[in-house]
C-alpha cells in the first residue's frame, strides 16, 4: 500500500488521525501564518512485523511502541509558514517505520574525517549520577535503534540499557547530537511522543534538552523571551 499525503485536514476529520496527532492539527490550522498542515498516512503495522523485528534484533519491543505501530507504521507530519508571498517549510514530526527502526552501529555512525572514535566517546561517557541516568554505550552494554534522523540534526534513539537479550522495561529515549554526545529525553516512548507533538516539530527542538540549547539560527523570529514549547 502506498503512503499518501493527506490534504490539510480541517479539524482532522478522520478520528484515527485526530487521536494520532493529539488534536495538534486544529491548533496549527488556527495559527496565523501557518499553512499546508500535512500528514502522510501510513497503514497500521501487522503483528507479525513486530514479532519479526523482535526476533531479528533479540529485543522485546516496549508495549507503548507496539501500540503505536499497531496504529500507524511510522509517522510524518509537516507544516509550513507563509511569509509575504513565500511558503517556507518549518515543522516536521517523524517516527521511523518498523523497517527503518534499525540498530545504530559503528558502521552507521557519522563518517566525518575528524569524527571521534567509539573509544573516544566511551572515554568521555560519564556514569550515572543522582540527576542524570547513565549514558548509552556504543558497545554490547547497550542496544540502540534510530527513531528519527531529525533531518540531519542528530538522532532520536530507542535505547535498551542492558544489552541483548533486551527487555522492554530497560528502554529509554535519548538524543544523539551531531557531535555524537548523548542527551537524555524521556523514560518512555509515550512521553517522547508527547514532547514531539508539544514542540510542533520545530527545527532542532531536541537541542532544548542539551546544555547548549537551540542554536540562534534555529529559533523562529520573534521567539525571544518565549519559553513555552511551540512558541513561534
Segment 133-142 mean pLDDT:
89
pLDDT, tens digit (0-9, with 9 covering 90-100), for 192-218: 999 999 999 999 999 999 988 887 665
Tell me the pTM.
0.80
Segment 105-112 mean pLDDT:
57
96 Rama class: left (phi>0) / alpha (psi -120 to 50) / beta: beta
- The CATH architecture to which 13-107+136-209 belongs is 3-Layer(aba) Sandwich (3.40)
Considering only CA atoms, which of 198, 174, 177 is closest in space to residue 186? Answer: 174
Number of H helices, E strands in the chain: 6, 8
pLDDT beyond 50 at 227: no
Inter-residue contact 186 to 196 (CB < 8 Å): no
Inter-residue contact 50 to 69 (CB < 8 Å): yes
Sorted by where each begins, the domain ranges of the chain are: 13-107+136-209
pLDDT beyond 90 at 173: yes
> Where in 99-218 does DSSP place strands (E)?
143-148, 155-160, 171-176, 182-186
Amino acid at each position: 500500500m502506498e503512503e499518501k499525503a493527506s490534504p490539510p485536514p480541517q479539524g482532522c476529520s478522520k478520528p484515527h488521525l485526530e487521536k494520532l496527532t493529539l488534536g495538534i492539527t486544529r491548533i496549527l490550522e488556527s495559527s496565523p501564518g501557518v499553512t499546508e498542515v500535512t500528514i502522510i498516512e501510513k497503514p497500521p503495522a501487522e503483528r507479525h512485523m513486530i514479532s519479526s523485528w523482535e526476533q531479528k534484533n533479540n529485543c522485546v519491543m516496549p508495549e507503548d511502541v507496539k501500540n503505536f505501530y499497531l496504529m500507524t507504521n511510522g509517522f510524518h507530519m509537516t507544516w509550513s509558514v507563509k511569509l509575504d508571498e513565500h511558503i517556507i517549510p518549518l515543522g516536521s514530526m517523524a517516527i521511523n517505520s518498523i523497517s527503518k527502526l534499525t540498530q545504530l552501529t559503528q558502521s552507521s555512525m557519522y563518517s566525518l574525517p575528524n569524527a571521534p572514535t567509539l573509544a573516544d566517546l566511551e572515554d568521555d561517557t560519564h556514569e550515572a549520577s543522582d540527576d542524570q541516568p547513565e549514558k548509552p554505550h556504543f558497545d554490547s552494554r547497550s542496544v540502540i535503534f534510530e527513531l528519527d534522523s531529525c533531518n540531519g540534526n542528530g538522532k532520536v534513539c530507542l535505547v535498551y540499557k542492558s544489552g541483548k537479550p533486551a527487555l522492554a522495561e530497560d528502554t529509554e529515549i535519548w538524543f544523539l547530537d551531531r557531535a555524537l554526545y548523548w542527551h537524555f529525553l524521556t523514560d518512555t516512548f509515550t512521553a517522547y511522543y508527547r514532547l514531539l507533538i508539544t514542540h510542533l516539530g520545530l527545527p532542532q527542538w531536541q537541542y532544548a534538552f542539551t546544555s547548549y540549547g537551540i542554536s540562534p539560527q534555529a529559533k523562529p523570529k520573534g521567539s525571544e523571551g518565549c519559553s513555552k514549547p511551540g512558541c513561534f
